Structures are given as C-alpha cells and as structure tokens.
Chain A
Amino acid sequence: MATTDPQAGTTATTAPAEPLDPTGAPGTLPLPPKAARTLTLAGAVGTFASTMLAWTWTAEFPGDLTYYGSPVDLQTLTLAGSLLTIAFLLAGNGVRGLRWLTPGGRTAPVTLAALGTFGVAWFTAGAIAVVLGGFIHFEPGMWVAVFTSLLTVVGALGLRADEPFDPADPALRDPGPWQRFRHSLKAPAPAAARELPGWAELLTIAVTFGVGLFVFTYGIDTPYGELFIGFLILVGFGATALARAGLSQRLSKLTAKHRNITFTAAFVAAACFPFTQSSDQYTSVAANILIFATVALGLNVVVGLAGLLDLGYVAFLGVGAYAAALVSGSNTSVLGVHFPFWAAVLTGAGASLIFGVVIGAPTLRLHGDYLAIVTLGFGEIFRIGMENLDGSSGPAVTNGANGIANIPDLVIFGFNLGEDHTVLGVELGPFANYYLLMLFFTIIIVTIFRRADRSRIGRAWVAVREDETAARAMGINGFRVKLIAFALGATLAGMAGTVQAHVTSSVTPEQYQFVEVVPPNSAFLLAAVILGGMGTVSGPLIGASLLYLIPAKLQFIGDYQLLLFGLALVLLMRYRPEGLIADRRKKLEFHETGQLDVPTGGPGLSKTEA
C-alpha cells in the first residue's frame, strides 16, 4: 500500500472535497496489497502447519500437546481458526466455489478470524508458560504457532478495508491507527441472495443447526478451563467474522422465512445432545442450563416484553419447586401425598400463579425503580418465609433450612427417569432423561413466548412498556395487562420449578437467593436476559448457557466470579446495550444511526427474530 498511502494523506487534509474511493479504505498497517495478502496466507498456512507439531514436551499441560501430526484440543481450535482465515481470504479474493462465504465484508472476516486464531495460539502459549513455568517448556511448534499467528494478524491488518471512509465522520478525516483498525472491521451488508431451491434452503438450516449442536457440544464437553477459554475466544471471534462476512444475515433471512422449520430443527438438534454423550457428566450440566434458560425465558416475558423489572423472580421458581416437592411423596414432605407428574406440574404452576397474582396485585401499581425494590423484597421474603416454616418459628411445612430432601425420581408412563435406559443403542442416564423432559418444557415455554408476543396482549405489553399513559389512552388497562404478564411469568417459572425439584432431588431455601455464585438466582436470571438480548427467544437461551457454563468450567475464577460478571455487564452495557442477540427494535433504540430503518422483509410483525 505504498502507493495508496500518500493518497490517503491527501484525502485526510482535504477530506470533504476529495471524491470517495469506492474500493475501500487503507488498512491499519501500510502494506502493499499483494504483500498483505501473501503475508496473511503464509501466516495462516504456517499456523496450520504448526498445529501438526508438538507444542510442549510434557503431558503435564492438560490435553497433552506433545504429539507430532495429530493436533489435539487447543491445537485443534487453532487449526480451525487458521482454516477459517484461509477460507475467508480465498473467498474474498474470488476463488471459485468459495465466494458464497463472503457475500458481505471480505477483509473484516479475515481480520477477525486471524485475531481469533492469534488469540487462541497466544493464550495457549501463555497458559503453558504459566502452568508449566516459563517459555522453556515450549517445543518449536509452539514458537512457530506464536510467530505465524502474529504474521497472519499483521498481514490481515494490511488488507484494504471493505468500506470507504465516511466523509461525514470527523474522526475519519485524519484517521489514526486505532480509527483505521476499527474501520477495517466494518463491513457492508450482503446483497440479496440468489434464490435457492426449497430443499437447499432446508438443507442449509439443517446443516447450520448440526454445526451449532457440534459447537455447543464441544463447549460443554471441554474437560478443563484452558480449553474452554480457547473455545470462547475462537467462537467469539468466529461468530463475529461470520456476521461481518454477511453469512449470519443471510441465514437469519432463511430462518425468518422458514420459522417453524427453524424452530423444529433447533429442538431436534437440542434433543440430539444426550445421544452424543457417553456419560452423565455433562448432561447434568446441560439439564441445569435448560432449567436456567427456561426460567430466564419466563423472566423475559416480564422484563423483555412488559418492561417490568422483577428482581425477585427466582421466588416463583422456588414456589413451583416447593409445591412439587410437597406433593412428590418424599418422606420429608409434611403432605404424605404422591401426585402423578402431570398433577405435580399443575400444582407447581398453579401455586406460582397464585403467588404471582398475590404479589403482583399490590406491587404492580408501582413503577420503575420502586417496583424493582419491592420485588427484590418479596423475593427475600419468600426465602426467609420458607426458612421459618420449620415448626419452631412457624408452622411445620418446609423443614426450614434443611428443606425437603429425598424427592423421588419421576415416573412418567411407567418410565422411571431416575434409571438408565437404552434408546437407539445409546445409554441415557437419569440426567439425560431429565434433560429431555426439560427440553419438552422449554418447547412449551418458547411456544408460549412466541405466541403471546405476537398477539393483541403482546402488543399491549410492549405499548405499556413504551408509554403507559399513551397505552391507557388507547384503551389498554395497564394494570391488568401488567398483572397478566407477571402471572404468566410466574406460572412459567413454577412449571420449570417442578422439574427442578426432581432434578436436584432436594429443595432448600438457599437455592432461591437474590444473588449467589450458582445460577439460577434472581440476579443471574436478569443478567442472562440482558446479556442475551431482551425480548428475544434465543437471547436468554444463549445468555443462560454462557452464565452457567463460564463459572462451571472456569473453577479458578471462583471468588472473583461476581466481580467479573459485574465488569462484563458494565462493558456489555457500554458497547452492546441491546445484548448479544439484538431485537431489531432494540438495536435501533440503542444505536442512533440517523438512517431510516427501511425493512426489506415481507409483511408481518416480525419482532422476535430467531
């Protein structure tokens, strides 16, 4: 880019008068285009080759990166990253057969993939140095990976940015390296896709969910923290790269077109998960994630749709769990009854519904912060109340702090969920059974969420959230619709609670605090909704998965967990206030683009993408 750089200099001084360079803008580093491309490619190929070498000499570092010719764990992740970089680079340069990879940006995905690979390789190097004590433990392969991944990044930073500098943006008149770097990560939206035959579209959706299942399973199955961090780095950068390449947008158009098929494919993929597992070790994690995610989805009705900040939501989960535990036939339950499962679900949901209405009726007359404080109070009242119903401070109902233990396993249609069953040649343990049961409830709750969202009552919730006075002037009984949202949210949590009681096999007040280190609790539920994206279906599911997996996998952050979450939330609110999965509405609300939002899709009230 030696030839273009002086040009960039002149553009900087006389920016507004200079005609725009439609082919893009200079990259972060002044390299000739050809050199940049060659460097990137050479670096990525070198990184690929390095993963075939040993990275360290001892098996003491987890994963045993000592083999030649067979990459494992962190090496595999680096390998995947380098392949992704090569693929994007070739696709961006018009190699036949790969062009579908980059309908949107071409440089930005390469840069992001290179950064992801770099991140994984350098993180591994750092981890080896820390765990084993010093660089002396590196084998040559590690040094190769470190340098080639750096070279890839340097090369990628020399590539020309996809979009020309915006002459209206004063920061880009005389862009410094940082501005040029940020600019090089921008990418244009992809052009409309060529019409595919129906079967190809469905195949694309199926393949996507297959890949999604694979990635998710890989993440859950990571046996040690270092691999999980490497996984998060690669997935984070890789997902952003796919978004910049325009693939995510194309895919979301497809899924919006085939809503029900997407919905089905997602749950088929989720149902396949236990069949990929050889033991119950990770299905228990998955079952707990589902419980957490489902409750977060219920909270999303209250917070995301109706805009009611509920800080005591976990109490409803507790009511459902306690109700189910009392009628479960446990020998520690004061009621000596054993309801069949369906009746227990109805009891739990019904109890939560009543509790929701009883709490909601007085509190929903409050707004905003006041409501948040009162719900926080009620959440704690529930926990303390359960502690006091122990026979000495109050009537003997819940055994106080000891809780209700020995909750028997569920038996549905003569099928004992506590025993191993062999289905299709795969042995499913108790947690796999509960996972599948919970998945069934997730489907119900997702369906309820989607249907309620796109209806008269859903619109009324959003209207009340947007402007309650105007909503009332439009004939909406604000209190009534808010109470319905509150009661619905409570009922959904109660349903999840009945399953939770059986999964954990004991119910104690300590499980239902405002904040503690183990999710689900009120603070984490709210964080999952906000992190994932308010008002969406997939947002809370992803948010809950992350919030459950990160502490479960990274044992070493232990005491600093809450601190780190606080920090992560602050950063998220600063840089992506709409959450990981953005509702179109929220995106516009938080990022004032100054452009008119001109929809391209067909008719319909497509509010909840995904």
Chain B
Amino acid sequence: MTTTTTTGTPQAQPAGRTDVLRASGVTMRFGGLTAVRNVDLDVDSGEIVGLIGPNGAGKTTFFNCLTGLYIPTEGQVAYKGKVLPHRSHLVTKAGIARTFQNIRLFANMTVLENVLVGRHTRTKEGLLSALLRGPGFRKAERGSEERAMELLEFTGLAGKREHLARNLPYGEQRKLEIARALASEPGLLLLDEPTAGMTAGETSATRDLVLAVREQGTAVLVIEHDMRFIFNLCDRVAVLVQGEKLVEGSPEAVQADERVVAAYLGTPFEGEPGEAEAAEVREAETREAAAHDGGQTGTGENPKGEQH
C-alpha cells in the first residue's frame, strides 16, 4: 500500500475539474414514506466526498438510487455527463462501483475469484469463447488475472489469493470488497461505511487505502459514521438529514455548522432551561447522591429528561 503524504486536510481543487457524478433532484418514495427528498450532489474528478447523517437519514437509500439498485421516483443521476440507466449492472459498466454496508462478498469464492468477478464488465469473453478457448480467451483471462493480482497487491491481500472470502478476517473482507469494486475500473467509487466495526488501526489503514485510490484518479463518495475518519479524509462533506441535504461544504464548515450538531444531538428545548433550572437539577442530583450514598446517578439523561 502506498504511504500517502496527504495529511488529510482538504486540498484546494485545481480549476478545470469535471463533474464525475451529478445527481440532481433525486427523490425516493416508498409508498407514503419519502426516504430521500430532492437531493443534489456533485462529485468532481479526483475528489473525496463524504456523506454523513444520523441513522435512517437515507444515505444508503441515496446510494442505492445512484447505483441503480433503486429507481428514484424523481430526479436523475448523470455520470460524466451521461444520464445513468436504472440497471445496476449498467451503472457499474458506466463506471460507478460500490461496496456494501453489510459486506456482500461472494463468500464461497476465493479472494482472487472475487476480484475476477469484478472484472466482468471490462472483459467480454462469452460462453462460446470460453468453450473454444482460443488465444483471445487465454489472453483475456491472463490479463484479468494480472490486473486482479495488481489490485490484491494494492490492497495487501496478494498472499491470500486462494483463500475463500468467508475465511478472511473482517478488516480484510472490507478491503477485498474495495479491491473487487476497483476491478471494474470505476471512475467513481462509492463506499458504504467502509470502517464500520473496525479498530482504530484498521480505520487508519482504510483511510490510507482510500487516499491511494484517489491518487490513482478515482473519485470517492463515502458514507461513514466515524466523524474523525470523515473529517480527516474528505475534501467536501454533505450532511443528509431525514432524506434532505442539510449542508454541504468543507469539513471545517460542516463541523462548525450548528444545524449539523443539532441534527445529531437534537436542538435545545425552545424555552431553553436557564441557570435557575440547571441549578435545580444539580441540587436534585446532589440530594439523590446523598440519599443513595455512593450510588450512581445517570446524569447523562437529565438534560433530555428536562425537555418534556
């Protein structure tokens, strides 16, 4: 894996970059429920964009709309200026590859085979050429295998090429999913919570990997709950709340934005509790603490408990 020198601070975008992804007015309704409402999102080439939001904000639904797994009720998604069809495999063929929130590897295939499946759209040997085994077929197979091995080297899995995917440790399964997605030579990589369940060490390795992917010229759109990861990695962050895009901007701007904090932590009560109320609470707490001598008090709940 390349050791990138990027410190994680967003780089100023050079002028003349083109849109890789342009989603405009994407709306997804399931019956009466609007999961995603009128979301616009652009990703420029060579950019890493983060998509954050509380649970149930519609991030993964939005991803599914982008990749053709769902057909958006309204709006359209364009990749490099071309409107994408609503068929998952055609989206991948166009150049958008993705990983899944709950790892979806081909569990009973080897690591190498998993990556070779990712090469599917970039090769076209059909059944007939497989049966005839002409020189073209052999060349294509060799080429695919070489490319797959390169990607395994890149993700650090080359030593495990013949292992079954199911037997890899969790962190390596995530890496393999990224390698498999990269095998389709995408212009845009969508990562759905790539560090979920990872240790701090694995998270930072994933960050290096994503930066290395960017170095190779692939734009990345990443959903994540790990704020440190997102703010260290992304050039731009969009916040999705209840299906709507709340803010979009540089990590600093988003981090500072009150509405974002409010979306995650809730807004203070309208009639904001004043110093008097706070003192009352403190007093009650000390009384209670004194009552159950040495007993623990759940102070964490109190501010919210006050609200209703």
A-to-B contact residues, CB < 8 Å: 447-448, 451-452, 455-460, 462-463, 466-467, 469-478, 484, 488, 585-586, 588-589, 596-599, 601, 603, 605
Residues on the A chain within 8 Å of B109, using CB: 459, 462-463, 466, 585
Q: What are the residues of chain B within 8 A of A455 when measuring CB–CB?
A: 125, 127, 130, 137, 141
Verify B164–A597 contact, CB threshold 8 A.
Answer: yes
- Nearest Cβ in chain B — how far from A441, in angstroms? 15
B166 interface neighbour in A472, A475, A588, Cβ under 8 Å: A588
Q: Does B206 contact A (CB under 8 A)?
A: no
Measured CB to CB, the closest approach of chain A to B67, in angstroms, equals 6
A599 CA to B162 CA, complexed, in Å:
6
Q: Are B107 and A466 in contact (CB under 8 A)?
A: yes
What are 19 contact pairs spanning A and B, CB under 8 A? A451-B130, A451-B133, A455-B125, A456-B140, A457-B125, A459-B120, A462-B108, A466-B106, A467-B106, A467-B107, A472-B89, A474-B89, A474-B184, A585-B164, A586-B108, A597-B167, A599-B163, A601-B162, A603-B162
Q: Which of B161, B162, B184 has the most CB of A within 10 A?
A: B162
Nearest to A586 among chain B residues (CB) is B108
Question: At the interface, yes or no: B105 with Cβ under 8 Å from chain A?
Answer: yes
Which 5 A/B pairs are nearest by Cβ-Cβ distance? Answer: A475-B121, A455-B130, A475-B92, A470-B104, A472-B88
Asked whether A463 lies within 8 Å of B117 as measured between CB atoms, the reply is yes
- By beta carbon, the residue of chain A nearest B162 is A599
Q: Which of B67, B127, B131 has the most CB of A within 10 A?
A: B127
Contact: A475 with B162, CB < 8 Å? no
**Residue from B100, B116, B166, B184 within 8 A of A459 (CB atoms):** B116
Q: Which residues of B contact A458 (CB under 8 A)?
A: 130
- Find chain B residues with CB under 8 A from A470 CB: 100, 104-106
A601 to B110, CA, bound (A): 13
B251 to chain A, nearest CB (A): 28
Which residues of chain B from 91 to 142 have any CB-CB distance to chain A below 8 Å in the complex? 92-93, 97-98, 100, 104-110, 112-113, 116-121, 123, 125-127, 130-131, 133, 137, 140-141
Q: Which residue from chain A places its CB closest to the CB of B119 in the assembled complex?
A: A456
User: B69 in the interface, Cβ–Cβ < 8 Å?
Assistant: yes
Roughly how many angstroms separate A457 CA and B128 CA in the complex, as a whole number? Answer: 10
Map CB proximity to A onto B285-305 as digits: 1 under 8 Å, 0 otherwise: 000000000000000000000
Asked if B184 and A456 sit within 8 Å, CB to CB, the answer is: no
Does any Cβ of A come within 8 Å of B174's Cβ?
A: no
Q: A456-B130, A601-B162 are in contact. Are A588 and B108 (CB under 8 A)?
A: yes
User: B180 near A: Cβ within 8 Å?
Assistant: yes
Closest to A592 in B: B166
Asked whether B173 is an interface residue with its Cβ less than 8 Å from the other chain, the reply is no
Which chain A residue lies CB-closest to B132?
Answer: A451
- Contact between chains at B163 and A452 (CB < 8 Å): no
Instruction: Judge whether B100 and A456 touch: CB under 8 Å.
Output: no
Given contacts A469-B104, A605-B113, contact A475 B163 (CB under 8 A): no
- In the complex, which of the residues A476, A599, A603 contacts B120, with contact meaning CB atoms closer than 8 Å? A476
Chain A residues near B110: list those with CB within 8 A: 605
Roughly how many angstroms separate A138 CA and B106 CA in the complex, as a whole number?
60
Q: Contacts A456-B123, A459-B113, A588-B164: A473 and B107 contacting too (C-beta < 8 A)?
A: no
B131 near A451: Cβ-Cβ < 8 Å: yes
Q: Measured between alpha carbons, how far is A456 from B144 in the docked complex, in Å?
A: 10
Q: How far is the CA of A467 from the CA of B161 in the complex (A)?
A: 20
| Interface pair A478/B127, CB less than 8 Å apart | no
Question: In the complex, what's the smallest C-beta–C-beta distance from B209 to chain A, in angstroms?
Answer: 19
Excluding A456-B125, A476-B89, A588-B167, 7 further A-B contacts by CB distance (< 8 Å) are A455-B125, A456-B130, A457-B125, A467-B106, A473-B89, A474-B117, A589-B108
Secondary structure call for the A interface? helix
| Docked-complex contact A596 and B163, CB < 8 angstroms | yes
A474/B137 contact (C-beta < 8 A), A466-B108, A601-B162 known: no
Partner of A448, one of B98, B131, B161: B131
| Set of chain A residues within 8 Å of B92, measured between Cβ atoms | 472-475
In the complex the two chains form, what is the Cα distance from A160 to B101 in whole Å? 51
A588 CA to B109 CA in the complex, in Å?
A: 11
Decide if A460 touches B163 in the complex (CB within 8 Å). Answer: no
Report the separation of the CA atoms of residues A264 and B126 in the bound assembly, to the nearest whole angstrom.
26
In the complex, what residue of chain A is closest to B161 when comparing beta carbons?
A603
B109 to chain A, nearest CB (A): 6
Determine the chain B residues whose CB is within 8 A of the CB of A478 once the complex forms. 89
Residues of B within 8 A of A469 (CB): 69, 88, 104
Query: Closest Cβ of chain B: how far from A291's Cβ, in Å?
Result: 22
Residues of B within 8 A of A597 (CB): 163-164, 167
C-alpha spacing A478/B68, complex, angstroms: 14
Complex CA gap A17/B45 in Å reads 61
The distance from the CB of B186 to the nearest CB of chain A, in whole angstroms, is 10
CA distance A59 to B137 in the complex (A): 64
| Assembled-state Cα–Cα distance A596/B110 (Å) | 12
Nearest CB in chain B: distance from A371 CB, A: 20
**A585 touches which of B108, B112, B117, B181 (Cβ 8 Å):** B108
A484 CA to B108 CA, complexed, in Å? 22
Task: Collect the chain B residues with CB atoms within 8 Å of residue A447's CB.
Answer: 131
A280 to chain B, nearest CB (A): 34
Most buried by A among B106, B121, B125: B106
Q: In the complex, which residue of chain A has the Cβ closest to the Cβ of B123?
A: A456
Which residues of B lie under 8 Å from residue A460 when comparing CB positions?
Answer: 117, 120
Complex Cα spacing A475 to B121, Å: 5
Rounded to whole Å, the gap between the CB of A58 and the closest CB of chain B is 57
Q: Give every chain B residue within 8 A of A603 (Cβ-Cβ).
A: 161-162
Which listed residue, B106, B120, B123, B127, touches A452 by the CB 8 Å rule? B127
Distance, CA A589 to CA B167, complexed state (A): 11
CA distance A598 to B125 in the complex (A): 31
Task: State whether A596 and B167 are in contact (beta carbons under 8 Å apart), knowing that A457-B126, A601-B162 are contacts in the complex.
Answer: yes
**Chain A residue nearest in CB terms to B186:** A475
Q: Are A452 and B131 in contact (CB under 8 A)?
A: yes
User: Known: A455-B125, A460-B120, A473-B98. Is A467-B89 also a contact (CB below 8 A)?
Assistant: no
Residues of B near A474 (CB, < 8 A) are: 89, 92, 97, 117-118, 120-121, 180-181, 184
User: A601–B97 Cα gap in the complex (Å)?
Assistant: 32
Contacts of B130 in A (CB 8 A): 451-452, 455-458
How distant is A420 from chain B, measured CB to nearest CB, in Å? 36
Of the candidates B88, B140, B141, the one having the most CB atoms from chain A within 10 angstroms of its own CB is: B88
Q: Which residue of A has the minimal Cβ distance to B110?
A: A605
Is the Cβ of A467 less than 8 Å from the Cβ of B108? no
In the bound assembly, the distance between CA atoms of A53 and B120 in angstroms comes to 67
CB within 8 A of B127: which of A484, A598, A601?
A: A484
Among A456, A457, A475, the one with the most B-chain Cβ atoms within 10 Å of its Cβ is: A475
